[in-house]
């Protein structure tokens, strides 16, 4: 087969993708029989000349890339328990099956279908289930998000993650888009399809099954306890997510080495999506995707950045414990909502924790979340303030054009009531600075909703070169919750990495 890669193939926003065939033919000066898109990105730096930029592969025969089959273990399969069904746990389980190991996958929450109902009830009426919510349940916290798959890690496993998502129903474009996203509506279907595949291939799945203890004998795992019931196990994958605070306490009490880990905290900021689009694209361009942004400010001693920007999305109640308010952002695939929102967060340093205790970062998060709950008057209402009033140091009393999307409701309250002074000072310096790069970012009526506290795990469960927990053979800390990832793609890739490490042990 003859193949040729073409770079910098340009389409204008009003041109159809089907015209790529003729563009390739003109560049090649020969018919282009088969082609596939390797990369697609939007170049909007010049608002007068916005363009799609493609990298294409052309060939004279049909193009197909079949990944090589993974080597399966030859010895009797070990008893593997995967604790947690977020990206790390799901991808680890799928990879173990590819390697000839059928795991028991356990999740403290509910199946994604029931979990979605519980999350909807929380949004509508403030009825909170501590074991089935945005933090806990099949699919993990990322299921109720924009489903971004962009990652700054450069792992060779990232491609396998994207291909796996496509195999289970994600839009094929995620394999080549520069900023791929799936959308929360699609993610819920994909997660259910992954579970069905695990069961079809011989894996076992248990819901409402909480890891309540681990049994270590002579430095090696011998059993796990699920809801207090003992289950023998040779290997345990800890893919518990960054909100499994009770699990962190359990592991610390059992002698696991846990370190503090810095994270970021702040608020969600909402603008009208139309105004973000105008700031990013100008006017007159139809057919462009909902505009996004990513901003960083060093206007103060602490870095401030936007994170998990959700075009056309909503601010979501994301509490994982009773008596605390946590917010996150969510978009469906269409990104068709009236508002844009993003986490606007400040670097939190270890010295802010006020203690050397391994779980001091957890306590720091909890303090902000409970303060936000109290500031809004309880009932899981969220405290909100207009950006203009926050910058001026005065209280808010009415909304402008931007209306908050958070449900079960909001109450006006100063951001200073729940964020520490150092974080508020950094935000006051950063918002005008960011406005210099994105016009309208500091708009008076932009809405700040708090508290965005679960950006990443505040702990790291130390593991060695074999990916096993230090001094605890047979236990594999995995994914974002254990401190080894920072998003859906990197968490899924870490799940693949851990599965390969287990297979290597028994090869």
pLDDT number for residue 1: 59
pLDDT above 90: percentage of residues in the chain: 86
Alpha helices in 71-135, H assignment, sequence order? 87-98, 112-125
Per-residue burial over 59-86, b = 16 or more CB atoms within 10 Å of its CB, e = otherwise: eeeeeeeeeeeeeebeeebbbbbbbbbb
3 state SS of 174:
helix
Encoded tokens for 454: 């679960």
Residues 184-212, mean pLDDT to the nearest whole number: 97
Radius of gyration of the chain from its Cα atoms, rounded to whole angstroms: 24
Residues 290-308, mean pLDDT to the nearest whole number: 96
Average pLDDT, the chain: 94
Cα–Cα dist 159/101, whole Å: 22
pLDDT 10s digits, 309-338: 999 999 999 999 999 999 999 999 999 999
The domains of the chain, with CATH numbers, are: 3-59 (3.30.70.2700), 80-260+457-505 (3.50.50.60), 263-452 (no CATH)
pLDDT number for residue 478: 98
Total Cβ atoms within 10 A of residue 472? 25
Cα–Cα dist 271/484, whole Å: 32
| Short-list 17, 38, 6, 210, CA closest to 107 | 210
pLDDT number for residue 434: 98
> What separation in angstroms does the CA of 47 have from each of 51, 53, 273, 285?
9, 15, 17, 9
Total Cβ atoms within 10 A of residue 506? 18
Contact 1, 42 (CB under 8 A): no
Contact 404, 483 (CB under 8 A): no
pLDDT number for residue 24: 85
Residues 135-156, mean pLDDT to the nearest whole number: 88
Residues 54-76, mean pLDDT to the nearest whole number: 83
Which residues partner with 473 through β-bridges? 220
H-run or E-run covering 59: strand 51-59
- pLDDT value at 59 more than 70: yes
| Short-list 251, 305, 277, CA closest to 461 | 251
């Amino acid at each position: 087969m003859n193949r040729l890669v073409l770079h910098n193939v340009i389409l204008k926003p009003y041109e159809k993708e089907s015209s790529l065939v003729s563009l390739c033919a003109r560049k090649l000066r020969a018919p282009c029989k088969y082609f596939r898109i390797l990369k697609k990105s939007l170049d909007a730096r010049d608002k007068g000349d916005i363009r799609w930029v493609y990298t294409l592969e052309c060939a004279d025969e049909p193009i197909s890339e079949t990944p090589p089959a993974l080597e399966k273990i030859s010895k009797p399969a070990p008893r593997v328990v995967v604790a947690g069904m977020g990206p790390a746990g799901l991808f680890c389980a799928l990879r173990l099956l590819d390697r000839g190991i059928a795991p028991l996958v356990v999740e403290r929450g509910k199946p994604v279908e029931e979990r979605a109902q519980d999350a909807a009830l929380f949004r509508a009426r403030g009825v909170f289930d501590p074991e089935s919510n945005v933090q806990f349940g099949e699919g993990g916290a990322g299921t109720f998000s924009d489903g971004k798959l962009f990652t700054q890690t450069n792992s060779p496993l990232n491609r396998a993650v994207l291909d796996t998502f496509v195999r289970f129903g994600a839009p094929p474009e995620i394999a080549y888009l520069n900023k791929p996203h799936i959308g929360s509506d699609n993610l819920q279907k994909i997660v259910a399809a992954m579970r069905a595949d695990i069961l079809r291939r011989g894996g076992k799945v248990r819901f409402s099954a909480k890891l309540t203890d681990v049994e270590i004998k002579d430095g090696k795992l011998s059993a796990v306890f699920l809801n207090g019931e003992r289950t023998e196990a040779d290997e345990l994958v800890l893919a518990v997510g960054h909100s499994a605070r009770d699990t962190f306490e359990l592991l610390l009490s059992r002698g696991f080495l846990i370190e503090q880990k810095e994270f970021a905290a702040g608020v969600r900021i909402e603008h009208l999506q139309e105004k973000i689009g105008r700031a990013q694209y100008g006017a007159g361009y139809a057919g462009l995707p909902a505009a996004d942004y990513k901003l960083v400010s060093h206007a103060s001693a602490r870095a401030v950045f936007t994170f998990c920007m959700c075009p056309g999305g909503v601010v979501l109640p994301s509490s994982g414990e009773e008596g605390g308010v946590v917010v996150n952002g969510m978009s469906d695939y269409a990104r068709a909502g009236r508002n844009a929102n993003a986490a606007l967060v400040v670097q939190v340093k270890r010295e802010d924790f006020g203690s050397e205790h391994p779980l001091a970062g957890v306590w720091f998060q909890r303090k902000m979340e409970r303060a936000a709950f109290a500031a809004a008057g309880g009932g899981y209402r969220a405290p909100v303030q207009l950006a203009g009033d926050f910058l001026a140091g005065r209280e808010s009393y009415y909304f402008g054009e931007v209306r908050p999307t958070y449900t079960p409701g909001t109450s006006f309250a100063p951001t200073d009531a729940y964020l520490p002074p150092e974080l508020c000072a950094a935000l006051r310096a950063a918002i005008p600075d960011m406005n210099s790069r994105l016009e309208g970012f500091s708009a008076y009526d932009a809405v700040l909703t708090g508290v965005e506290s679960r950006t990443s795990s505040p702990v790291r469960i130390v593991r060695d070169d074999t990916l096993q927990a230090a001094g605890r053979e047979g236990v594999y800390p995995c994914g974002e919750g254990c401190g080894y990832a920072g998003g859906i793609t990197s968490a899924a890739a870490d799940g693949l990495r851990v599965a390969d490490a287990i297979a290597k042990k028994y090869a």
